[in-house]
Amino acid sequence: MTKRMARSTSADYVTAFATGWPENQPHIMVLSLTTHKGVQDFAFNKEQALLIAKTLKETADRLASSK
């Protein structure tokens, strides 16, 4: 049996930027997220990074077309 975690209905506002693909680890992308709680770095593999990029592009296209 899997325990489900309750998900918040609100979100923190985030400032994010990709710090890139580290020279010594070219198979991961590092993304830094900043909220009012501080900065946290996340590492993504190539497939995860591409999925994030695709989702961000689709969202940006929808937002741009809704103007």
Which pLDDT does position 2 carry in this prediction? 62
Confidence band (pLDDT; 50, 70, 90) for 20?
A: confident
pLDDT at 3 over 70: no
pTM above 0.85, yes or no: no
Q: How far is CA 65 from the centre of its chain?
A: 22
9 vs 52, residue with greater confidence = 52
pLDDT at 1 over 70: no
Contacts 24+ apart (CB under 8 A), 55-58: none
